[in-house]
Amino acid sequence: MQDALRLAQESDLDLVEVAPTARPPVAKLMDYGKFKYESAVKARESRKNQSNTIIKEIKLRPKIDPHDYETKKGHVVRFLKGGDKVKVTIMFRGREQSRPELGRRLLARLAEDVQDLGMVESQPKQDGRNMVMVIGPHKRRSEHKAEARAAAGDRPRRRQREQA
Protein backbone atom coordinates (compact mmCIF):
# COMPACT_ATOMS: atom_id res chain seq x y z
CA MET A 1 0.00 0.00 0.00
CA GLN A 2 2.87 2.39 0.83
CA ASP A 3 4.54 1.56 -2.50
CA ALA A 4 1.33 2.44 -4.33
CA LEU A 5 1.00 5.76 -2.47
CA ARG A 6 4.62 6.61 -3.25
CA LEU A 7 4.10 5.76 -6.95
CA ALA A 8 0.98 7.95 -7.05
CA GLN A 9 2.80 10.91 -5.49
CA GLU A 10 5.76 10.53 -7.86
CA SER A 11 3.56 10.45 -10.98
CA ASP A 12 1.25 13.23 -9.64
CA LEU A 13 -1.85 10.99 -9.85
CA ASP A 14 -4.50 9.83 -7.37
CA LEU A 15 -4.61 6.36 -5.84
CA VAL A 16 -8.23 5.22 -6.15
CA GLU A 17 -9.46 2.09 -4.36
CA VAL A 18 -11.44 0.11 -6.95
CA ALA A 19 -12.42 -2.97 -4.90
CA PRO A 20 -11.88 -2.38 -1.17
CA THR A 21 -13.49 -5.68 -0.09
CA ALA A 22 -11.20 -7.84 -2.24
CA ARG A 23 -8.23 -9.58 -0.66
CA PRO A 24 -5.79 -7.91 -1.25
CA PRO A 25 -7.67 -4.61 -1.93
CA VAL A 26 -7.48 -3.45 -5.54
CA ALA A 27 -6.37 0.14 -6.25
CA LYS A 28 -5.76 2.11 -9.45
CA LEU A 29 -3.57 5.08 -10.34
CA MET A 30 -5.63 7.75 -12.14
CA ASP A 31 -6.38 11.44 -12.39
CA TYR A 32 -9.58 11.41 -10.33
CA GLY A 33 -10.72 14.90 -11.40
CA LYS A 34 -10.46 13.93 -15.06
CA PHE A 35 -12.34 10.68 -14.35
CA LYS A 36 -15.21 12.55 -12.63
CA TYR A 37 -15.41 15.05 -15.50
CA GLU A 38 -15.54 12.32 -18.17
CA SER A 39 -18.22 10.38 -16.29
CA ALA A 40 -20.31 13.58 -15.99
CA VAL A 41 -19.95 14.18 -19.77
CA LYS A 42 -21.05 10.58 -20.50
CA ALA A 43 -24.08 10.99 -18.22
CA ARG A 44 -25.03 14.25 -19.96
CA GLU A 45 -24.75 12.61 -23.39
CA SER A 46 -26.92 9.68 -22.38
CA ARG A 47 -29.56 12.07 -21.00
CA LYS A 48 -29.50 14.01 -24.28
CA ASN A 49 -30.16 10.87 -26.32
CA GLN A 50 -32.86 9.58 -24.02
CA SER A 51 -36.44 10.34 -25.02
CA ASN A 52 -39.45 10.56 -22.80
CA THR A 53 -42.62 9.15 -24.27
CA ILE A 54 -45.46 11.58 -24.85
CA ILE A 55 -48.97 10.26 -25.34
CA LYS A 56 -51.32 12.51 -27.30
CA GLU A 57 -55.07 11.85 -27.18
CA ILE A 58 -57.67 12.10 -29.92
CA LYS A 59 -61.37 11.75 -29.08
CA LEU A 60 -63.93 10.50 -31.61
CA ARG A 61 -67.62 9.63 -31.63
CA PRO A 62 -69.04 6.51 -33.37
CA LYS A 63 -71.21 8.57 -35.79
CA ILE A 64 -68.40 10.82 -37.03
CA ASP A 65 -68.77 12.75 -40.29
CA PRO A 66 -66.31 11.68 -43.05
CA HIS A 67 -64.67 15.14 -43.17
CA ASP A 68 -64.28 15.25 -39.38
CA TYR A 69 -62.76 11.76 -39.51
CA GLU A 70 -60.18 12.94 -42.07
CA THR A 71 -59.31 15.93 -39.88
CA LYS A 72 -58.84 13.74 -36.80
CA LYS A 73 -56.82 11.25 -38.86
CA GLY A 74 -54.60 14.13 -39.98
CA HIS A 75 -53.93 14.96 -36.32
CA VAL A 76 -53.03 11.32 -35.62
CA VAL A 77 -50.66 11.31 -38.63
CA ARG A 78 -49.00 14.53 -37.41
CA PHE A 79 -48.52 13.11 -33.90
CA LEU A 80 -47.06 9.84 -35.22
CA LYS A 81 -44.69 11.72 -37.55
CA GLY A 82 -43.55 13.72 -34.53
CA GLY A 83 -42.68 10.46 -32.76
CA ASP A 84 -45.51 10.58 -30.19
CA LYS A 85 -47.86 7.80 -29.20
CA VAL A 86 -51.55 8.42 -29.82
CA LYS A 87 -54.37 7.32 -27.54
CA VAL A 88 -57.56 7.18 -29.61
CA THR A 89 -60.72 7.36 -27.50
CA ILE A 90 -64.22 6.75 -28.83
CA MET A 91 -66.92 8.19 -26.58
CA PHE A 92 -70.28 6.43 -26.57
CA ARG A 93 -73.47 8.19 -25.47
CA GLY A 94 -76.91 6.80 -24.71
CA ARG A 95 -77.96 4.04 -27.11
CA GLU A 96 -74.55 4.04 -28.80
CA GLN A 97 -73.26 2.01 -25.84
CA SER A 98 -75.22 -1.00 -27.06
CA ARG A 99 -73.27 -0.92 -30.37
CA PRO A 100 -69.57 -1.26 -29.46
CA GLU A 101 -68.87 -2.88 -32.85
CA LEU A 102 -69.28 0.57 -34.48
CA GLY A 103 -66.41 1.88 -32.36
CA ARG A 104 -64.29 -1.19 -33.01
CA ARG A 105 -64.84 -0.82 -36.76
CA LEU A 106 -63.89 2.89 -36.64
CA LEU A 107 -60.70 2.16 -34.68
CA ALA A 108 -59.75 -0.65 -37.08
CA ARG A 109 -60.25 1.73 -40.02
CA LEU A 110 -58.06 4.38 -38.38
CA ALA A 111 -55.35 1.82 -37.58
CA GLU A 112 -55.38 0.64 -41.19
CA ASP A 113 -55.19 4.23 -42.51
CA VAL A 114 -52.06 5.03 -40.45
CA GLN A 115 -50.35 1.62 -40.53
CA ASP A 116 -47.41 2.96 -42.58
CA LEU A 117 -46.59 5.45 -39.75
CA GLY A 118 -47.46 3.45 -36.64
CA MET A 119 -48.70 0.19 -35.24
CA VAL A 120 -51.39 -0.65 -32.73
CA GLU A 121 -49.76 -1.07 -29.32
CA SER A 122 -52.91 -1.90 -27.39
CA GLN A 123 -55.97 -3.34 -29.05
CA PRO A 124 -59.34 -1.57 -28.61
CA LYS A 125 -60.72 -2.03 -25.10
CA GLN A 126 -64.11 -1.01 -23.75
CA ASP A 127 -63.65 1.16 -20.68
CA GLY A 128 -67.09 2.12 -19.36
CA ARG A 129 -68.56 4.62 -21.83
CA ASN A 130 -65.30 4.85 -23.78
CA MET A 131 -63.33 2.55 -26.08
CA VAL A 132 -59.56 3.10 -26.07
CA MET A 133 -56.75 2.08 -28.42
CA VAL A 134 -53.07 3.16 -28.39
CA ILE A 135 -51.06 3.58 -31.60
CA GLY A 136 -47.28 3.93 -31.39
CA PRO A 137 -44.90 5.22 -34.07
CA HIS A 138 -42.56 2.85 -35.92
CA LYS A 139 -39.54 5.11 -35.26
CA ARG A 140 -38.29 6.41 -31.95
CA ARG A 141 -38.77 10.04 -31.00
CA SER A 142 -35.00 10.72 -31.22
CA GLU A 143 -34.95 9.46 -34.84
CA HIS A 144 -37.80 11.83 -35.72
CA LYS A 145 -35.91 14.74 -34.13
CA ALA A 146 -32.76 13.88 -36.11
CA GLU A 147 -34.78 13.79 -39.35
CA ALA A 148 -36.39 17.14 -38.53
CA ARG A 149 -32.97 18.69 -37.83
CA ALA A 150 -31.61 17.34 -41.14
CA ALA A 151 -34.62 18.72 -43.02
CA ALA A 152 -34.21 22.11 -41.31
CA GLY A 153 -30.54 22.14 -42.33
CA ASP A 154 -31.51 21.69 -46.00
CA ARG A 155 -33.76 24.77 -46.07
CA PRO A 156 -32.13 28.20 -45.88
CA ARG A 157 -33.19 30.19 -42.85
CA ARG A 158 -35.19 33.36 -43.35
CA ARG A 159 -32.97 35.57 -41.18
CA GLN A 160 -29.84 34.57 -43.06
CA ARG A 161 -31.44 35.57 -46.38
CA GLU A 162 -32.58 38.93 -44.99
CA GLN A 163 -29.08 39.78 -43.76
CA ALA A 164 -27.39 38.85 -47.04
My answer on whether 35 and 68 are in the same domain is no
| 44 assigned to some structural domain | yes
- Same-domain pairing of 28 and 66: no
Residue 88 has pLDDT above 80, yes or no: yes
* Domain containing residue 26: 2-49
Residue 63 has pLDDT above 80, yes or no: yes
pLDDT at position 10 is 83
Tell whether 14 and 39 lie within a shared domain.
yes
- Alpha carbons 126 and 104: distance in angstroms, whole number: 9
Query: What is the pLDDT at residue 155?
Result: 62
Residue 154 located in a structural domain: no
Residue 163 lies inside a defined structural domain of this protein: no
Q: Is 74 exposed, middle or buried (0-12, 13-18, 19+ CB in 10 A)?
A: exposed
The Cα 159–Cα 24 span in angstroms is 65
Within this chain, do residues 105 and 36 fall inside the same structural domain, yes or no? no
Query: What CATH number corresponds to the domain at position 135?
Result: 3.30.110.10
Can you give the pLDDT at residue 52?
A: 74
9-13, 118-122, 144-148: the lowest-pLDDT one? 144-148
Mean pLDDT, residues 80-108 taken together: 92
Is 104 found in the same domain as 81?
yes
Q: Are residues 120 and 91 in the same domain?
A: yes
Do 121 and 95 fall into the same domain?
A: yes
Q: Same domain, yes or no, for 68 and 36?
A: no
44 and 60, same domain (yes or no): no
20 and 66, same structural domain? no
Q: Does the structure show a pLDDT above 70 at 43?
A: yes
Average pLDDT over residues 9-24: 84
Predicted confidence (pLDDT) at residue 147 exceeds the cutoff of 90: no
Residue 83 has pLDDT above 80, yes or no: yes
